[in-house]
Structures are given as C-alpha cells and as structure tokens.
Structure 1
Amino acid sequence: MKPFAIALLALSLLPGSPVLGPAVLAHAKDMDGASAAATRLLVRQDGQAFVTEARAVTLPKGSGELALPGLPATIDASTLRLRSKTAPTGLSVRSLAVSDETLNPAALLRRFVGRQVGVVLPDGKSRDGRAQKQALVLSASEPPLLLVDGSVYSGPVEAIIYPELPQGLAARPAAAASVVNAGPTRQNVELSYLARELSWRMDYALTLNKAGDNGVLDGWVVLTNHCGKSFDQAGVELLAGETRSARPVAARAFMAGDMLMKSSAANAEGEAVFEHHVYTLKRPVSLADQQTLQAPLFDSAAIPVSRKLLGRASALTMGRETGPTQEKLDIVLSFRNTKARGLGLALPRGPLRVFEANSDARRLVGETQLDRVPEGASAEVTVGSAFDLNVERVATVMEKTGNSSWRGAWELRITNGKKRAQRIVLQEQIPGKWKVEQASAKWTKPSAGVLEFAIDVPPTGENAPLVLTYTFSTEQ
C-alpha cells in the first residue's frame, strides 16, 4: 500500500486548532525559552545522549500535577527524572508519566477505529482515476480495513482525510509529574533523561607539505541529531570509549554542570572519566532536530610527520609457493601526540583524510581510520600503497626438515620507478624459534616473529632490480 497522506493543513488554519493554535504555541515558546539557556548534553558515540535541562516552572501548593512538554521523540521514558534546584527538600515527586503515543499516521489511524474518515481510492475505471469517499475505519492494520459503500475494503489507499485531530496526540512525547510541593510556587527545576538518535563522531584532516615530512592536523566533532527535539545554546560534553548501557553516564552527568564552561585555549577540554574520556566543547552549541553540525575539537596543529614504505609478508609458506608473487608496499604515516607538537589531547577514533598541499589547492591522497591515540603516544596509519615501487618474491628453497621444523630461502627483487632513491622496510614474518643462516643485507629483530630489513633502493628504471636474498630455518 502506498504511504498515507494525512490532510492536516486545513485543520491547522482553523481558529483554536490544536495543531497550530496560538495558545499552544505561546506555552511551548515559554517552556523552550526557559529551558534553552541551561541545557547540557552528554553525548555518547553509540547514538545515546544524557540530557539535563533547567526549567523555570510554576508549581501548585501541596499536591498537584506539573506538565512537562517538549521532550524528544526518542526519549527513554524509564530514565526521566525531576528534581528542584530551588527547594530540593521541599519538592517531592510521587510519580512521572510519559505519553509514548505521538502524532504519526499509525497512531492517528488507531484513534479513528470505529469512526468516519474521508479516503481517496482508485476509482477502478482508469489507470490514474481517483475517487473520494466516506469510510468507516474497521481496523488499523496494514493495510487498514474500511467499510466503503456498504462493503469491506482492503487495498490501496491514496490518502486519508481526518475531520479533526484527537486529543492527546502531540508531535513529541509529553510528561506529567505528580508532585507534593512544600516550597515556593515559582521554582527552577532540573529535568534529565536519556535520548536515542543523538550521537557524535570525529573527523580528521591531515594536510602534508610537498616533502611529506610536516603536516597540519585538524580535528572536528560531527554531531548528529535525529531525536525529535532541537537544543539551543546547549553545553556539550562528548563521551569517547566503549560504554555499556548500565547507565554510569547518568551519575556523571548530574555532576557535570560546573565543568562545562571551564576556560581553555583550545576548542575542547579532555579528561579521563572512569576508563573513558570526556571532551567538553568550549562554546555552547545550537543543534536543531534533523541536523548534522560540526565543531572543532582542537585548534589546527602543525606536526612533524614520518613516512615509510612498508612491506609485510609471511616467510613460511609450508611448500605452497608455486611461483613469483608481487608484494605491495604500504604507505605508512606516523606522528606523536604531544603538547610540544601542538596536540596533547587524547584523540578519539575517527576517519582521517590525508591531503597534499600544492601552490593553489589540496589533493586528496588517502583515507583511513585513525584509532584512539592517548596523550604522549604515537599514531600510525596506512593511507595506500606505493605506485612506483614493487617487490617480486621468489621462494628458492622451502623444505620440511623435521616434524615441526622448516628451512627456506627467499629472493626479493625490488624495483624503483622514481627518480630518487627510496627507503623501504620489509618485514618477514617467521613463526617459531628461528634463525637467519644467510642474508645479503643487514637485518634486525623488532619482535619475536619478525625479521626486518631497512633498505635504500636506488632508481632502477629499465635496469635490473635490486635483489635481496636470505635463508632461514625455524622450529615450531
């Protein structure tokens, strides 16, 4: 069945319409205006956020009800909490009720079961013909069951025209608190809850100079809001790390109010919380519903960058090698995350795009994922493979010398199509207890299972390749 088209425009223009009535708008504006100045968001990377709102409300004396409109459509109703900032001991909350049924086609149709609506149906006479009829809604199933002209109809419905908007349906969930108030009638209260579909991620850009030994690193936060509520001038904290949904976040957020506006030379502050990191944006953020917004996490940092061409291969093929194979060399960039190099903030995980600067523009030369980089640690990323360098691998010996021992020999033929010599690093992975019997170049052992060669390869052009040979034996 085609999607329902709900004809509410005419209703919204009627005097006193509950859709766009002036009294409803004034009430919503007052509430939003009261809450906008002191909203705090603790946003997680898994699509949830802990929201704390400060609202100025008028409370009844003694027992009564307090309406709490303007909640997100994705609120987790079980996390809703209300407390007084003006008179914490004078306000007792006996219960909190949240209406989960919001204004949408399915909910509207359910409200009209057993009632008359207007429907637009195919007229059955021509391909594009349509007819408007009155129908009794028998069931709100998909597709709905309708009584039309004395017959039960189940089929395509082009549009449903409702005569009115039922009471109790709003665009967003609404809450009501049953309270006992022994304090003043005018109070400042704090409302907190978890909302889904409000998340953040990092996005990095590294622009290298022509030589590739220095670069400028930018890091921007990307906030995405699909929760059904807009936030005006909200203080934002970003929680990085893998968290479970057992809600240690809530307790952290209740204590976060005095920390949001600390002064800082950077765009955000980072601090360790439990085993995670929280980043506090320096400036408040206005984030509309259905909006994606970017804000810098730190100022652009000019950093030294190391670049190497790295080949990784297994030296032990168990006799499966049948002929020469081609080995690509990865382009690996690395830098240190230190204050002395313009950073010093623990970097959360996020995509990294690498550019090369020239006289009048930037060229995108690679894209990868930057993993979490603690303060003081080194970051290493692979952004592609070398175009002009190649390693051809030929196993000249590969024999089993015992139940769990092997002996092998390799000839590595290296070509360099560039005009200058290039340094490459080749890492040969050898399992077990191994030793090198012969090698034509110096080697090192950076870890238990790795034999490493660092070689300067001159331009080869159409000449013979540079040949590296080695022989090893291993026992597993």
Structure 2
Amino acid sequence: MNRPNFPFALLLAVAFFFSAFLSGAAQAAGSVVAIYNNGQAQVTESRMVTLPEGAAAVVFSDIPETLDPSTIRATAPDMAVEDVQYSYRPITADNLLDAFVGKELSVILPDPTDANARIQRKARLLSNEGRPIFALGNEVYVGSYDALLLPEMPAGFDAAPNLTLTTRSTVAGRKNVALSYLMDGLTWRADYNLTVSQSGGTADLDAWATVSNSSNHAFPGADLRLVAGEVGRVPSRKLFARNKNVMAEAVMMDAAPAPAAAAEESFSGYHVYDPGRYVSIPASGSKQVALFSASNIPVKTELSSRFYSSPNRLAGKQGQPVESTLIFTNTEQNRMGRPMPAGVVRVFMPASDGAKLLAGEARLGHSAVGEEIRLAVGQSFDVNVERVQTSFQRIGKNAAEVGWRITVRNGSAESRDVRLQDSFSGQWTILSADTPYTAKDAGTIEFDLKNVAPTTGGEGKTVNYTVRFEY
C-alpha cells in the first residue's frame, strides 16, 4: 500500500490550508445543475485548488447537506483520488444527548409535591434511544422533563458538512477539480398558462419551469438542465437514523463530467431543457424559469357527460355532470410541436368585457409531440343533462331490459355540441335508439349531439334508447 512520504503534521497543514482556501470558492458561478422531476439533482462543479506533488488532503466545507455521499466523483489533470470522506454531525438535540450518554447532567423536573413548581436534579443519562432515560440515585427515571442543562459543548460537531479528498498528483500546481454528485431537495415541474382568444378558436400558451429548493444550499449562476421524465433509481438505505454522524468512504476511479445538453433534446427516453442562460437558485424557496411559448394554437371546447348504466331499477330523475374539456393537438401545423413536461395547466377564458378570467386548472402528464391534449377545466354552468328510467323489465334470472330518456338543456345564448357517453358492464345489446350512436369500445356508446339549440320553455333535446343486459 502506498503511503505519504512526508510528515503527518505537514499533511494536516496542507489540509487546513486547502480547507480555508476553498471555503470562498465553493459557490463560484459555473456549476452545472441537472434537476429531475423526482426531487433529485446531479451537480457538477469546478473548484480551483493548488496541490503539491504527491499526496494531499483537500477539504471542502461548502457542500449541500442533502448530498448522497456514495455518488461523489472528483477528477483533475495529473491527479488521482484515492479516497473520499464525507462527514456531517449537525448540532441537534439528539446528537448532543448522544454525546453525553453515561455522563451526569442537570435535569429540570416537575416537583412531585407541587404541580406548578419545578426542581433541578443531577442525573446520569443511561440511554438516548427513542427517549432519554436517566439514573436518579438508585432509581431509573423514564418520564417527562422540562429541560436539560449540559455542562459543556461537546467536540466533534459540524456547522456544515465536510468533504475530504485524499489525492495524489504527479505534477504540482493549480488544478481545476471537477466535482460531481447527486443530491436531494431539488425538484421542478412545468406550469402552463393557456389564454383562450375572444373567439374561442385559438389560444396562446406560456410554459414555465418552477424550480423548488429545500436543500438549504444555493446555486448562484448555475448552468441549469431540467430533465423531464421519471428516472428509475435504486432505493437507498440511510446509513444512520435520526440524522446522526454520517460518514462514507470509497476508493474512487476516474470519471468524466456529465455531458452538456442542448436547448431541448431527447435523452435516453427523456427530454432535457436548457434555459440558455445562467440561473441563480435560492437556498430555500422556488424560482420560475421561462421554457417556451406558442401563439394562435387552434383549440376547441368539448362538452361531454358520462353515465354508468347498470341492470338495476331506478326511480326519479338522475342528474349527471357536464364536463367542459379544452382540446388541441401538439403538432407543428398547430404552432406547437414541442414535448410538454408534466405539470399544471391554468386555462384563462375571456369574459364579455374582454377580461381574461381563470376558467379552470388541469393536470397534464408528460405529453409527446403529436399527442392530442385534453384539458378538463371544469363543469358547464349553462348546459345540464338529466335522465329518467322509462322502463325496466327482468328477463329471466340473469337478464334485464332497461329504457332511458336523456334530456339535454342548453341555457346559453348559442347552440352547443354535446357528447353523451353511456358505459355498461357485462354483456349488453342496444335494442332500440331514436338517435344515432357509435360504439366507442366494448363497454361504451356515444351520442354526438350537434348544435343543441338554446332551451326555451323548459324543454330540451331528448335521446331515448333501450338496452338489454345479460350478467
């Protein structure tokens, strides 16, 4: 095994020098941050250090608390990394008490003779697993307490995580170390504003990326990459419970930095978005970054109402909601043709005075180019549908014939198209219908009602049909 050929004291001095030198350079602009939808990020940073020929210890103190130690990689010309050590023991109540197990503390306890009084007792901390357990003389105390007074601040705690590289260089001098790692606490989603024109036939779309950071670590001037898609990861096992001292060591091999991405490109079944400029990500909170926009997209609004029919006798009127869906196709011909990452679409429609008001929100999954986008924005206020069971007859033990009358009323000032969808279970056959229908699939029929006129006198458009169920 190769070992340093200079005194250990000199090694410590070199490590201290590098730690002090790098503390101000850790947040230098130029970090490449690739953020995934699942709350993880890949970070590649450039850190300039001065290394002697031979072995050295390099300490970085400005690194995220949410870093995954097993993913750390570091490379530089003429430099090999022999091991990596990540350590972080934050100052928490649990960690402090762990340091005093077996020692005597001052405990503020309720006074057993006076419910409003408190007493101070000396007690030895026996355990801190789950809750503190004390020895009070010859008795073991497991119960509530108001406070603990520690005799001193124990050593070995960190204000921030520390990363130590043991390196060996063949050439002395300043080196640009490429440091990369995976971390938690960074995520992003897409947010869309879809504004429908006054005519209702076109819409303008603005796409934004909302980047959220809960890692308590800022990235000023980051070269940002946003990866759309669900990346598979092996579930990780936490090394220590209750955020106690975390340390990981590994022998490192040379590794290339992450490849650069284009403004928008396909990557292993995913899509990568590059804002095209440096973005500063705050240590806590969120930031919106413009992705793309499109104007005059052809759109249409569909009114539909679905009912699940069954071979059961029902009395009285059965109301059913009418859903309003905004539809467009993601193609270049429709002035789109861009992959749309998953997110929330907010649809704004014009009022009579031209004001654009929120008409509804819809959640969008990852949508590829060429897909039809259907946004259910809410229920129709003016158009309503109700039905009445006009007949019911049991045919044998496992069959029944059911008749329905569906009434569509249009309370708006304009004619509207309405699609009725009836779904059935088991085996079924339509015996009669006074309105044309199509079988959408093995369990659904559709009535497409065109130009349903505004309703007057309480009447409306009616559909009558009879279905036989066999079950």
- Shorter-chain TM range is 0.7 to 0.9
Conserved 8 A contact 2:33-2:43: yes
Q: Residue in 2 aligned with 1:258?
A: 260
- Of 325, 346, 368, the match for 1:353: 346
Q: Residue in 2 aligned with 1:293?
A: 287
Shift in CA distance, 160/223, structure 1 to aligned 2, threshold 3 Å: farther
Shift in CA distance, 197/409, structure 1 to aligned 2, threshold 3 Å: same
**1:77-112 deviations in whole A, cap 9, x for unaligned?**
11111111xx1xx22222111114223332233334
- SS of 1:108's partner is helix
TM-score (norm 1): 0.79
Q: Residue in 2 aligned with 1:79?
A: 71
Q: Residue in 1 aligned with 2:225?
A: 237
Q: What is the identity, as a one-letter code, of the residue corresponding to 2:166?
A: S
- Of 96, 119, 126, the match for 2:84: 96
Q: Residue in 2 aligned with 1:305?
A: 299
Alpha-carbon distance in 2 for matches of 1:294, 1:159: 45
**1:437-469 deviations in whole A, cap 9, x for unaligned?**
543233334445432222222222433232222
Q: Residue in 1 aligned with 2:51?
A: 59
Deviation at 1:25, TM superposition (A): 10
Alpha-carbon distance in 2 for matches of 1:275, 1:373: 12
Q: Residue in 2 aligned with 1:5?
A: none
**1:333-369 deviations in whole A, cap 9, x for unaligned?**
1112233444322001112222223457532221221
Q: Residue in 2 aligned with 1:463?
A: 458
- Of 400, 410, 419, the match for 1:425: 419
Q: What is the aligned residue count?
A: 433
- Of 438, 441, 445, the match for 1:451: 445
Alpha-carbon distance in 1 for matches of 2:438, 2:96: 73
Conserved 8 A contact 1:352-1:370: yes
Q: What is the identity, as a one-letter code, of the residue corresponding to 1:377?
A: E
Q: Residue in 1 aligned with 2:275?
A: 281
Alpha-carbon distance in 2 for matches of 1:141, 1:407: 68
Q: Which runs of 5+ in 2 are unaligned?
A: 1-16, 236-254
**1:181-218 deviations in whole A, cap 9, x for unaligned?**
11333111111111112111122222223443222222
Shift in CA distance, 129/298, structure 1 to aligned 2, threshold 3 Å: farther
Deviation at 1:142, TM superposition (A): 5.5
Conserved 8 A contact 2:219-2:281: yes
Q: Residue in 2 aligned with 1:46?
A: 38
Q: Residue in 2 aligned with 1:10?
A: none
TM-score (norm 2): 0.79
Q: Which runs of 5+ in 1 are unaligned?
A: 1-22, 248-252, 263-268
Alpha-carbon distance in 2 for matches of 1:162, 1:338: 70
For 1:303-342, what aligned pairs fall within 5 Å after superposition?
303-315=297-309, 317-342=310-335
Q: Residue in 2 aligned with 1:109?
A: 97
Alpha-carbon distance in 2 for matches of 1:431, 1:133: 73
For 1:117-196, what aligned pairs fall within 5 Å after superposition?
139-141=127-129, 143-144=131-132, 155-158=144-147, 160=149, 163-164=152-153, 166-196=154-184
Shift in CA distance, 101/436, structure 1 to aligned 2, threshold 3 Å: same
Deviation at 1:272, TM superposition (A): 1.8
Report the more deviating stretch, 45-54 or 395-404: 395-404
Q: What is the identity, as a one-letter code, of the residue corresponding to 2:90?
A: T
Deviation at 1:320, TM superposition (A): 4.1
Conserved 8 A contact 2:18-2:58: no
- SS of 1:31's partner is coil
Q: What is the identity, as a one-letter code, of the residue corresponding to 2:292?
A: F
Deviation at 1:159, TM superposition (A): 6.6
Q: What is the identity, as a one-letter code, of the residue corresponding to 1:224?
A: S
Q: What is the identity, as a one-letter code, of the residue corresponding to 1:68?
A: F
Conserved 8 A contact 1:41-1:234: yes
Deviation at 1:158, TM superposition (A): 4.3
Shift in CA distance, 93/373, structure 1 to aligned 2, threshold 3 Å: same
RMSD between superposed Cα atoms in Å: 3.5
Deviation at 1:139, TM superposition (A): 4.5
